[in-house]
Structure 1
Amino acid sequence: MPDKMKRPDVKLVLLGDMNVGKTSLLHRYMERKFKETVSTVGGAFFLKQWGPYNISIWDTAGREQFHGLGSMYCRGAAAVILTYDVTNWQSLAELEERFLSLTDTANHDCIYAIVGNKADLTDPKAHLSRTSDGQPEDQTECEEERTEPQVLSACPTPPASPASLSGVMLHKQVTHEDAVALYGRILRYKGLDEKSSLPAEKVCFETSAKTGYNVDALFETMFDLVLPSILRKRHENQESPTVDLEDSQGAHSRKARIGCC
């Protein structure tokens, strides 16, 4: 039974070019800290418990040699986070040129988010971590929330210390408007009606894995958005329960032994 309880209800996948910070985003959210990472080989995943639900979050490699694995990781995905570096225009272009086609194996109702990471390099306000509702984080309240076992939302990530920030602002090559325009092209590529789809303001984010800026808001928004997929999947499983092959084979062998005498 414990193994069955840990089976993921839905899958969420991060796609994007190498060095845009996909792995760092996951570590910041799951482990509540920033650390330098090496390029992901193939793919890796975390299992996140969201209330009574289990969500698998897949981190994929951005290197060209692992590109073919992306469609396999996207198979059956309920949400895809397309990640770019706000200081690198090419990383946004790569999402459309290399990675979008990989999502053809995702669910037909898959949710797409466009996320510009490394915002702390271009925007001073990204030096402050934000809670999932967009408010500045309160460290004291955070500690109090940890004592409440029923709180579903994870405690907002702590901001980086001022000493860890270089203070040097880089040129921002990708604007929020560029990300919104890409989202519109993705909807057209998928043959989705923009009026009936999620608005860009809901799924276009700028984040900083280093400071924690908007990281909680990103993941918790996506978890809320895939909830209908989780409920639908559970309903379908109740209507068409899976067959335990071991029990089925055991019953078949017992019948065979009875019939042979």
Structure 2
Amino acid sequence: MPEMSKMKKPDVKVVLLGDMNVGKTSLLHRYTERKFKDTISTVGGAFYLKQWGPYNISIWDTAGREQFHGLGSMYCRGAAAVILTYDVTNWQSLAELEERFLSLTDTANHDCIYAVVGNKADLTDPKAQLSRDSDVAPEDRTECEEDRTEPEVLSACPTPPASPASLSGVMLHKQVAPEDAAAFYGRILRYKGLDEKSSLPAEKMCFETSAKTGYNVDALFEALFDLVLPSILRKRNENQESPTVDLEECRGTSSKRSRTSCC
């Protein structure tokens, strides 16, 4: 087990916010484990550490239940990016972001980046259903092909079979249009007192994803990681300018000086 002093600390923090059952945990599992999992509601919050090139990024998954609402501002403290997540088939889940969750971001960094993400796009968009193999790693895909005994199976190996609605070709009604998400993003900028002209445009910060099929999940996280890179570099420069003091080393130096002065 590595010593605590040698363990790497996260360079920046990314936080997921949103109502319960919008798929925040499933999005994280899809990105970090390359597969879809049926999950239970998150209690409080959960922490994931992602190695992104030479950098370490902590990703915080938060609970959407009302009883854990007060913890959200604590998890957002010092965040470099916040992913505000809703369900494209549930208009209320978008409304909840503005009514309950946006104020929790007051503790985030002043230059925090905000992404508005509509999950469960596979239920409304045929294009999102067809991305089932897109985010599966090549080695996983090879293993799946070797284990597959029935060529007509529709889903990729790590991803469970599609829902009956998806298999039958019946699409659910999309209650939140991309224009609605873009309008909400504009209200986020105004709430934060940011100039819309100098801020990142809505078309770059609004995503529709599917944790089930992997549609746009990589694009979401990789885009955010690229955008928080300046924060990472600035934080590292600040740490170099103000290095942590090693108390043990100071004690050793102090004792040596004391002995020298006594002789």
Shorter-chain TM-score tier: 0.7 to 0.9
Q: Number of aligned pairs?
A: 244
Partner of 2:100: 98
Structure 2 counterpart of 1:164, one-letter code = A
Partner of 2:90: 88
Task: Quickly say closer, same or farther: Cα 1:106–1:205, change in 2 above 3 A.
Answer: same
Structure 1 counterpart of 2:24, one-letter code = K
In the alignment, the residues of structure 2 paired with residue 174 and residue 138 of structure 1 have an alpha-carbon distance, to the nearest angstrom, of 25
Structure 2 counterpart of 1:241, one-letter code = P
Cα deviation digits, residues 77-114 of structure 1 (max 9, x gap): 00000000001111001101100111000000000000
Partner of 1:164: 162
- Do the aligned residues in 2 keep the contact of 1:159 with 1:212 (CA within 8 Å)? no
Partner of 1:68: 70
- Do the aligned residues in 1 keep the contact of 2:77 with 2:108 (CA within 8 Å)? yes
Equivalent in 8, 11, 14 of residue 12 of structure 1: 14
In the alignment, the residues of structure 1 paired with residue 88 and residue 182 of structure 2 have an alpha-carbon distance, to the nearest angstrom, of 13
Equivalent in 223, 228, 253 of residue 230 of structure 2: 228
- Do the aligned residues in 2 keep the contact of 1:113 with 1:203 (CA within 8 Å)? yes
Displacement after TM superposition at 1:243 (Å): 1.4
Structure 1 counterpart of 2:123, one-letter code = L
Does 2:134 correspond to 1:137?
yes
1:20-35 → structure 2 map (5 Å cutoff) = 20-35=22-37
Higher radius of gyration, 1 or 2: 2
1:112-123 → structure 2 map (5 Å cutoff) = 112-123=114-125
Structure 1: unaligned runs, 5 residues or longer: 131-135, 147-157
- Do the aligned residues in 2 keep the contact of 1:80 with 1:112 (CA within 8 Å)? yes
1:165-180 → structure 2 map (5 Å cutoff) = 165-166=163-164, 167=166, 168-180=170-182
Task: Quickly say closer, same or farther: Cα 1:37–1:192, change in 2 above 3 A.
Answer: same
Task: Quickly say closer, same or farther: Cα 1:163–1:47, change in 2 above 3 A.
Answer: closer
- The residue matched to 1:12 in structure 2 has which SS? strand
In the alignment, the residues of structure 2 paired with residue 137 and residue 2 of structure 1 have an alpha-carbon distance, to the nearest angstrom, of 39
Task: Quickly say closer, same or farther: Cα 1:12–1:2, change in 2 above 3 A.
Answer: farther
1:43-58 → structure 2 map (5 Å cutoff) = 43-58=45-60
Displacement after TM superposition at 1:128 (Å): 2.5
Partner of 1:242: 244
In the alignment, the residues of structure 2 paired with residue 184 and residue 242 of structure 1 have an alpha-carbon distance, to the nearest angstrom, of 40
TM-score by length of 2: 0.84
Partner of 1:189: 191
Cα deviation digits, residues 147-181 of structure 1 (max 9, x gap): xxxxxxxxxxx687694242231111101000000
In the alignment, the residues of structure 2 paired with residue 162 and residue 24 of structure 1 have an alpha-carbon distance, to the nearest angstrom, of 13
Task: Quickly say closer, same or farther: Cα 1:23–1:260, change in 2 above 3 A.
Answer: farther
- The residue matched to 2:49 in structure 1 has which SS? strand
In the alignment, the residues of structure 1 paired with residue 42 and residue 204 of structure 2 have an alpha-carbon distance, to the nearest angstrom, of 28
